[in-house]
Amino acid sequence: MRIVLATCRSKPFLTPNDALLAAELERAGATVIATPWDEVRPVGDGQDTVCLRSTWDYHRRWSEFQAWVRGFAPAGSLWNPAETVLWNADKLYLRDLADAGVALPRTRWFDPGERPDLGAVLREWSLSHAVLKPRISATAFGTYLVSGRRTLGDEEWAPLERSGGLLQAFVPEVVSRGEVSLVYLDGELSHAVRKLPASGDFRVQRDFGGRLEVVTPSSAALNFGRDVLAAVSRPWLYARVDLVEAERGPVLMELELIEPDLFLTPSAAARLAAVLLARAGRTVA
């Protein structure tokens, strides 16, 4: 049995966390191949199971990636499945979750090609700052902390206009308390981390100097994560719920169902390997 761990051209090798997953799969007898996603054929004899891992250029190559993912739809050999990935790639999924009662920062969505008057929205909301991001984005790509005084240039607007955008009220607790990531495998909570931004920044990703710490999530965070996933009607094998515990209670920043860093520990990697092999039709001894 072959398990393909899909990466990307710019970072073709496995991350240290995903190397743990590969080792557990191999220990169970699977053949593991790590390769950029665009070198994987989405249709074939159905013998390979493909797991999206560091496909971290998908937002820059969205048309290609979208077509590639759709190629798996009939075969069912992609995790997470094509229908889930395509839904989760456009941040309009957040609107679906908000409609189901999940708390978000105050948000306004914009259509592709639209360049909103940010100052007018901030005045309407009586806010001094907000976060602007593309609807199709990853790793804070094209994400800006904006104010009524800041003007974006054409190059900065380009990814926002290409996919559409969303403007969200800035949540100050992301700086003071950080962002909690709840990692779920096969429907169960596996572990959690807190991501903290570097001094003077609001982005918690390690690409921007953010740091991690293992955390025991609060009961409020656990209940919130459960409610977020209960609102998801599409199948998933792994999920990461990113939340901030704001003064009004937890708010959802992102639900990651495509290629999130899962911050795997050896035991978590073993669990993910087991459920991947089970989906592929093989039980780990």
Regarding whether 269 and 160 lie in a shared domain, the answer is: no
Regarding whether 99 and 211 lie in a shared domain, the answer is: yes
CATH of the domain at 127: 3.30.1490
In a domain, 41, yes or no: yes
Eight-state DSSP code of residue 47: -
pTM confidence score: 0.92
pLDDT per residue, tens digit, the chain (285 aa), is: 899 999 999 999 999 999 999 999 999 999 999 999 999 998 655 568 999 999 999 999 999 999 999 999 777 799 999 999 999 999 999 999 999 999 999 999 999 999 999 999 999 999 998 999 999 987 777 788 888 777 788 888 988 898 899 999 999 998 888 999 999 999 999 999 998 876 766 665 666 666 788 899 999 999 999 999 999 999 999 999 999 999 999 999 999 999 999 999 999 999 999 999 998 885 444
Residue 246's nearest CA partner among 167, 173, 169, 182 is 173
Regarding whether 59 and 199 lie in a shared domain, the answer is: no
Residue range of the domain that includes 245: 93-103+173-256
DSSP 141-188: TT-EEEETT----HHHHHHHHHH-EEEEE--THHHHT-EEEEEEETTE
Biggest CA–CA distance in the chain, Å, is: 61
For residue 61, the number of C-alpha atoms closer than 13 Å in the C-beta half-sphere is: 15
Regarding whether 114 and 22 lie in a shared domain, the answer is: no
Counting the structural domains of the chain, the total is 3
Regarding whether 71 and 12 lie in a shared domain, the answer is: yes
Regarding whether 221 and 133 lie in a shared domain, the answer is: no
